[in-house]
């Protein structure tokens, strides 16, 4: 019997990032087959609010294109922090739809934990704050801590990205965070490295979304 398929949609128009996140999701969901779709338009890396809003239409188009061709998709994941298009797809589709942003907030705040978000995209802080509010996590939220360098600079320098996100994690912990989310789909590999440091509880968005999607698919 073939496995049920899960569709991961990358709102960043970067195929390499899609493949990286699909590999991570596949490791988290061995009982499913993870397939990826990449936004056909917009920036290779979403770093500010206007691009996040504009990406919604590309996410919806990419998802619907795959779903029209593949009736075996059982669930869908929006894999950019800010969850662009998740709400539209939830209304349109009769399969579970999760976003890595909301899923990570639910995971980080589980059990009443205080949490913070470390990210390389200061231009996305307002929609991140709004997402925390909509997930009803603001009472336990210590805030967003950002890296010093531009996100595109860090994307081209993995070691610098790791070091600056480590500092942002430590800043969140210093503010009282019991768990720290690494806020960004393209930051997934760095998030995994940070989880090995033992600074605090690191919450990785893609695995968080995988866990939530599995729960919804099995319910």
The mean pLDDT value for 8-28 works out to 96
pLDDT score at 25: 97
Identify whether residues 193 and 177 lie together within a single domain.
yes
And the tokens for 209? Answer: 């979304």
Q: Which domain holds residue 37?
A: 5-99+207-218
- Strand 5-10 versus strand 115-119 pairing type: unpaired
Identify whether residues 56 and 124 lie together within a single domain.
no
Identify whether residues 95 and 108 lie together within a single domain.
no
And the tokens for 64? Answer: 């619907």
Residue-wise pLDDT tens digits, 184-218: 998 999 999 999 998 889 999 999 999 999 999 98
What's the CATH number where 74 sits?
3.40.50.1860
Identify whether residues 122 and 176 lie together within a single domain.
yes
Identify whether residues 199 and 134 lie together within a single domain.
yes
pLDDT score at 138: 87
Give strand ranges (E) for the chain. 5-10, 33-38, 73-78, 97-99, 115-119, 141-146, 179-182, 201-203
Whether the per-residue pLDDT at 23 is higher than 90: the answer is yes
Residue-wise pLDDT tens digits, 140-194: 999 999 999 999 999 999 999 999 999 999 999 999 999 999 999 989 999 999 9
Q: How many domains does the chain have?
A: 2
The mean pLDDT value for 91-108 works out to 97
And the tokens for 5? Answer: 């398929």
Identify whether residues 85 and 180 lie together within a single domain.
no
Q: Which residues are CB-contacts of 119 (< 8 A; sequence separation ≥ 6)?
A: 81, 125, 128, 144, 145, 146, 147, 165, 168, 182, 183, 184, 187
Percent of the chain whose pLDDT exceeds 90? 90
Percent of the chain whose pLDDT exceeds 70? 100
Identify whether residues 114 and 200 lie together within a single domain.
yes
The mean pLDDT value for 72-98 works out to 96
Identify whether residues 128 and 143 lie together within a single domain.
yes
The average confidence (pLDDT) of the chain is 95
Identify whether residues 213 and 163 lie together within a single domain.
no
pLDDT score at 2: 73
Identify whether residues 46 and 119 lie together within a single domain.
no
pLDDT score at 1: 57
Query: Residue 124 — very low, low, confident or very high, per pLDDT cuts 50/70/90?
Result: very high
The mean pLDDT value for 33-38 works out to 97
The mean pLDDT value for 18-43 works out to 95
Identify whether residues 10 and 78 lie together within a single domain.
yes
Q: Which of 37-41, 105-109, 137-141, 180-184 has the lowest mean pLDDT?
A: 137-141
What's the CATH number where 134 sits?
3.40.50.12500
DSSP 43-86: -SS--SHHHHHHHHHHHHHHHHHHHHH-TTEEEEEE-STT-TTH
Identify whether residues 187 and 212 lie together within a single domain.
no
């Amino acid at each position: 019997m073939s496995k049920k398929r899960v569709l991961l949609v990358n709102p960043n128009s970067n195929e390499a990032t899609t493949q990286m996140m699909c590999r991570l999701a596949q490791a988290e969901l061995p009982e499913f087959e993870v397939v990826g779709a990449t936004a056909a338009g917009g920036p290779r890396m979403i770093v500010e609010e206007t691009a996040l809003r504009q990406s919604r239409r590309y996410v919806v188009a990419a998802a619907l294109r795959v779903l029209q061709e593949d009736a075996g998709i059982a669930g869908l994941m929006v894999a950019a922090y800010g969850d662009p298009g998740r709400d539209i797809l939830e209304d349109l589709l009769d399969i579970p739809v999760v976003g890595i942003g909301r899923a990570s907030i639910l995971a980080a705040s589980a059990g009443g934990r205080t949490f913070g978000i470390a990210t390389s995209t200061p231009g996305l802080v307002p929609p991140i704050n709004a997402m925390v509010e909509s997930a009803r996590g603001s009472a336990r939220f210590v805030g967003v801590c950002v890296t010093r360098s531009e996100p595109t600079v860090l994307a081209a320098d993995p070691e610098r990205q790791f070091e600056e996100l480590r500092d942002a994690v430590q800043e969140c912990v210093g503010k009282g965070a019991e768990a720290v989310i690494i806020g960004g789909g393209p930051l997934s590999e760095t998030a995994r490295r940070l989880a090995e440091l033992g600074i605090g509880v690191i919450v990785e968005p893609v695995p968080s979304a995988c866990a939530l999607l599995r729960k919804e698919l099995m319910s």
